[in-house]
Structure 1
Amino acid sequence: MSAVVTFIGYHDSGKTELVSRVVSNLKNLGHRVAVIKSSNEPGIAFDKEGTDTYKHRQAGADSVLFVGPDQMVLQTGPSHHSIITLAHRYFPDVDIVIGEGFKHARKIPKIEVRSNRDQDLRAEVHGVIAVVTDLDISGDYIFRMDEAPEIASFIEKRYIRERNKRPEKTSLLVNGRKIPIKEFIQDSLAGTVVGFVEALKLTDGIKEIEIRIRLTDRDTSAKE
């Protein structure tokens, strides 16, 4: 787990300027730095020039998370992780994550939006399950551009309801890549971790357990 230090003070006390300078210095020392900024005010703009979050990014913060009473916004650097990993890591509590782009993502169902008859992604990429277009084309699951409700129902029936029939109890990421595991292994892993937590007498009100394991060079070399 990352170390956490927070700067506090009244409004206009100079916190943002100080934090930005500290971030710059930590970056100069070769560290990866994230900033979490909180506010009690609704409607705060995120990452616009002159805002606190903008200053933190300009200072070199690798990631900035803004938490307000009406919103939470995360900005981070580029990632080479797959859309599956990004969805699992950042949005574990939603029913579905809708992407835009990622046409070459493996094992991801894709809905092609087409406005040009000569551009047929169904013939170029794997996993196209439907097409949205006002062109006169044939095929299974063809929707019109004004049929957003029908598209939403299609997604709900095919993916959300089906997933809810067999919810995932345990998920596993290794080096940022999600590893599919069978149900009996999910149950086994969950039972083992719950057993350890119960031994710590920390089970009151617990609905979810998260665990992250980071192996050192010594851990990996010991297995060789």
Structure 2
Amino acid sequence: MQNHNLPTEQLKNFGIINDDHTFSRKLSEDDIQKFLQGYTIVADNDKNRATFQLTEDNTQLKIIFLERDRNLSQILDNSKEKIQYSDIKELANKLTSLEKKGFVYDNETGKTVEFDFIKNANELTAIIADKKDPDELSRYKNELLKLKSYLQDKIDQYPEIAKEIVNDMNIVSREISTLSNIAARENQLTEGVDSQIQLNVNDRDMYEDANRNREKQEGESEDMEIRRGFRR
């Protein structure tokens, strides 16, 4: 890895480094070290997103421009009320790749965290499942189904990258299966409660059996009182 042969002009153009070749104050020391090690810097502006990554022993700057379906500020505001879902497309790429994101507001930190449907699948599913909200589970599952449909279409269009797409589809299918299992368990619990209430309240035979048992117990109780009376 080389740090002395950075693509300085490009880095200056995008505000990553200053004219004196120092890094932008917007980047922490940790951000800078990760960037020099090949990690990606992400810059958002309304609907636009750009990613920057050093390649070729830090001599080249790989830049990807993307477009979000909604303004980021709107997503962040709405995430305080409920989880937000957003699509990001790389329009310059002939393959027109799509990324689907989930935005979850953390009440403890007061910050909204972005989760990728593929890279952070386990974490996002666990967070949503933990909320135990059937409507949210349904919303999330619908977004996963949309992504699966998109990936299926992409396989048909670009068989040369089918292996990578199938890997993503397997992740999405796994999460859909997990949600289906959660929903099935919730339905079983609900049906069990409903069934118990139905029997207790509306089952005529059980009601009459219970009534007869009550009358029998009352009769036995009266007999006991009579017998106790004879012993006095």
TM-score, with structure 1 as normaliser: 0.27
**Higher helix share goes to which structure?**
2
Higher Cα Rg, which structure = 2
TM-score, with structure 2 as normaliser: 0.27
Q: Which has the higher contact order (CA 8 A, sep 6+)?
A: 1
